[in-house]
Amino acid sequence: MENNPKNVLSGVAAFQYPILRRSLGQLTTSFGGFLATCAAMYLCLTISLWMTLPLSVIAAGFLFTITTSLAVAVGPPQQGEGMPRGFGFLIFMLGVRHPPPLNDLSRLDAPRKLVGLAAIVILIVTFIPQPFVAVGTERSLAFEDLNGLPLSKLPVTIALGTSVNLTFAVNNTGAVRDSIVIVAREPNLAGAGFVIRFTGYRIGANRTTVSTDTVQVELNASQRVVLDLQVVAPTSWSIPLPQDLSFLVHATTPLAIVSKDLLVTLHLTA
């Protein structure tokens, strides 16, 4: 009596229809959690990479759950198909034989076949042969001229009582978004009557007017800021002219992890 197909069908009838509440809950705790964690990681990039790191572990957990669910839904690969080691690990953990269905007598109806086909299509579309790629996170800076050529020294001739405007760029040549602090300050020249200050900077098409010796900007990878630096010479000088002077424009990332200097030489004339 127990092997009667009618008894089997009646016993599994309650499990033939999806439970919407559980389905929505599973989507929320898998895809929803993964997307929410990725959004939080993106927002934390502008604050600190160290805040992003623990969130990436949580995102990896959600991603593993999603990948495992897809692998179980699709079933084991056919013989002769190549597979990355990650999928081989999943098969090793889950086994090569799919668990038997509760009801192997009733044929799948059209909606369930469409859902299964959609799952296979999603797997094919989102399949990544190399899911983990090492991305460089090193930080680096470079001073450049307006043509994008490297710049390490900037010679200038200036007369007493006049001013000159210098234009150059600082490029974030690192692989991640970073905060850059640029300082043009020389106490000895300031004591002698020189005024050195930034009058503005431009990132893309956005220009900002300032009047300070320190500028701090946020730059994406391979993005640069074009700076306008004004040097005002004093009206008098106690030492016979001409004289050669110099100061540094210093660019650095937070905690001085990476820094770069631009040497500005001043040829002071009467």
pLDDT at 71 over 90: no
**Domain boundary pick from 90, 125, 160:** 125
Lowest mean pLDDT among 53-57, 62-66, 231-235: 62-66
Average pLDDT over residues 176-182: 90
In a domain, 132, yes or no: no
Average pLDDT, the chain: 81
pTM: 0.51
Q: Residue length, the chain?
A: 270
Same domain, 154 and 95: no
Same domain, 221 and 182: yes
The domain in which residue 62 lies consists of: 15-125
Domains: count for the chain = 2
Distance in angstroms (rounded) separating the CA atoms of residues 165 and 197: 10
Tokens 């800021």 label which residue? 225
Residue 231 has, within 13 A of its CA and on its CB side, a CA count of: 27
pLDDT at 38 over 50: yes
Same domain, 82 and 169: no
3-state secondary structure of 134: coil
Beta strands in the chain (DSSP E): 141-144, 153-159, 163-172, 178-184, 195-203, 206-212, 214-219, 224-232, 243-252, 259-269
